[in-house]
Structure 1
Amino acid sequence: MNGKIVGAALVSHHPGLMQCEEFRRAMGAGEDSDLIAGYARLRSKIEAARPDVIVVFDSHWFTTGYHLVDAGARYQGTYVSAEMPWYLHGVHYDYRGHPELALAIEAASRARGGHNRAISHPGLERQYATLNLVKHLRLELSDTPVVSVSTCQNCEWPHFLKSGADIGEAIRRSGLRVLLLASGALSHKFTTIDWKPRHPRIFHESNVSSPENVASDKGAIDLMADGRHDRILDRWQDEYRKLPWEASGAHYLQMLGAMGGRNCRARGEPLSAYENARGTGNIHIWFEPE
């Protein structure tokens, strides 16, 4: 059917970005987070790519036993975060899913001995790793369907590559133009509750949990810029898995698996500055398919 991946991005979703601009600027010593401007840059990339559907690899949707693919037809409601409800609350959402693609992913995965399974349940909770992107990228306004894919917590890192490879095969069979969003951070070590910032601009990279994590994150960003995802995989077990990246890097690995895994040479174009969020390393990076 000649479906294709028309774009991909590693995207930060951190909840601080959902606060009002006034509060963000107070945190930024008068400056807003560049991740906000980065969302506008990413919106332009998405508009140019003209996807039929967007797949979000959701690093907050933790499942056990299967990589789940949400097959709902439409999502409507009001979100309240259990993690930080004092400001991430009252988020109204109303957007379309794409059941056909979700079911096609399950079918391709079963045929290839994989563990992706479609699920459709009207009471299934939304996660902000998906919703924050839906809101910031204005996917409700564009009426672009969104399919969320879970992070299966009882997996080793090669399982995520396999999950992504099965999703890539389903996309090729689908006849659809699909854009991939890996929703999550790089290094994901939080600062303690009594943390004191090193820099008055809270978003500043010097407030990431450690200089070692900053150096490792920037090394990965440089390898992405060169399209050397194979070298990231070579260092995965001994470096990135031990930092660790958010959700053990599932979001990046599934995206990469769909794009060819070790053979992928898509170059990463940073669409934002590299920034801190409560000690974690965050950035938006665009990958143009080969």
Structure 2
Amino acid sequence: MGQIVGAALVSHHPGLMQCEEFRRAMGAGEDSDLIAGYARLRQQLEGLKPDVVVVFDSHWFTTGYHLVDGGTRYTGTYLSDEMPWYLHGVPYDYRGHPQLALDIEAVSRERGGYNRAIQHPDLGRHYATVNLVKHLRLEMSDTPVVTVSSCQNCSWQHFLESGETIGEAIRRSGLRVVLLGSGALSHKFNGIDWKPNHPRIFHESNVSSPENIASDKRAIALMEEGRHDQILARWDEDYRRKPWEAFGAHYLQMLGAMGGAACRAKGTALSAYENARGTGNIHIWFDTEAA
């Protein structure tokens, strides 16, 4: 029987792909703690040695289906159309896992769901996946990666159901899998003419508003307690309204795979809570075996 051996909510923001010298200039002499957090997350992965890493990509927007990328191998050079002035020329070469993608679709069809596998060699990459592949050195470990989209015409319940299907497919697969929800919490950008509140740009006081900071920290505290049910209970009146990146698809699908409201996996912060152009970012690890 397959098993989800670990999971994490992970930041992917493009500033982390700039050189250390530039990051330290933005950080008033200090690097982003999210960089050190990647090293801490790599240690978790090295200890677990998963058969597959599933990335819930908050930048891959689809309509009508939750798509699961079932390619055999991904090779190319990444250029961001959002921030091409510094996120460009990123080479990538990593394996996929076609059978897991097909298994997810099979379980979804059996249940009357909306998860579908796609295996198109020209399908583009998104930096919510590519940045994690690079920082977590998944190419070097030759760990297969399966990316799941964020379907934009969904309610939060649909994301949970998508995750439930993925969790069931993993259980039937015999694979040891780590889930990565790639995205931010509150995701309101500061204006183009915004002036920082703190000289260290990554500092949490530069997140878009005190209300968003407070909301993010409430969610982080609940994750640390393993009370995902309480996050879901407040979803419509709080986290959906902020809103989280991709309306929280990356977290909700990951949570659905781990049991949804019944999940009690406690989170451990692997980084500080930080700003990125107004958005709230953190790495949090969930010990699914302990749960």
Instruction: Return the TM-score normalized by structure 1.
Output: 0.99
Equivalent position of 1:68 in the other structure: 67
- Displaced runs of 4 or more, over 2 A: none
1:191 and 2:187 matched: no
Mapped to 1, the partners of 2:45 and 2:210 lie a distance apart of: 33
Mapped to 2, the partners of 1:66 and 1:149 lie a distance apart of: 10
Percent identity among equivalent residues? Answer: 80
Mapped to 2, the partners of 1:182 and 1:195 lie a distance apart of: 29
Q: 1:2-55 CA deviation, whole Å, 9 max, x = no partner? A: 100000000000000000000000000000000000000000011111100000
Mapped to 2, the partners of 1:46 and 1:9 lie a distance apart of: 11
Instruction: Give the secondary structure class of the aligned counterpart of 1:7.
Output: strand
Equivalent position of 2:17 in the other structure: 18
Mapped to 2, the partners of 1:36 and 1:182 lie a distance apart of: 17
Q: 1:199-233 CA deviation, whole Å, 9 max, x = no partner? A: 00000000000000000000000000000000000
Equivalent position of 2:93 in the other structure: 94
Residue pairs, 1:198-213, within 5 angstroms = 198-213=197-212
Instruction: Give the secondary structure class of the aligned counterpart of 1:29.
Output: coil
Task: Give the partner amino acid of 2:238.
Answer: E
Instruction: Give the secondary structure class of the aligned counterpart of 2:242.
Output: coil
Mapped to 2, the partners of 1:281 and 1:22 lie a distance apart of: 23
**Gapped runs of 5+ residues in structure 1?**
none
Shift in Å at residue 113 of structure 1? 1.3
Task: Give the partner amino acid of 1:118.
Answer: A
Q: 1:225-278 CA deviation, whole Å, 9 max, x = no partner? A: 000000000000000000000000000000000000000000000000000000
Mapped to 1, the partners of 2:232 and 2:112 lie a distance apart of: 23
Mapped to 2, the partners of 1:261 and 1:109 lie a distance apart of: 17
1:262 and 2:261 matched: yes
Instruction: Give the secondary structure class of the aligned counterpart of 1:200.
Output: coil
Shift in Å at residue 165 of structure 1? 0.2
Task: Give the partner amino acid of 1:132.
Answer: N
Task: Give the partner amino acid of 1:48.
Answer: G
Task: Give the partner amino acid of 1:266.
Answer: A
CA-atom RMSD in angstroms = 0.3
Instruction: Give the secondary structure class of the aligned counterpart of 1:102.
Output: helix
Instruction: Return the TM-score normalized by structure 2.
Output: 0.99
Residue pairs, 1:137-148, within 5 angstroms = 137-148=136-147
**Gapped runs of 5+ residues in structure 2?**
none
Mapped to 1, the partners of 2:29 and 2:113 lie a distance apart of: 49
Mapped to 2, the partners of 1:197 and 1:120 lie a distance apart of: 44
Equivalent position of 1:125 in the other structure: 124
Q: 1:169-226 CA deviation, whole Å, 9 max, x = no partner? A: 0000000000000000000000000010000000000000000000000000000000
Equivalent position of 2:112 in the other structure: 113
Mapped to 2, the partners of 1:125 and 1:193 lie a distance apart of: 28
Mapped to 2, the partners of 1:275 and 1:38 lie a distance apart of: 12
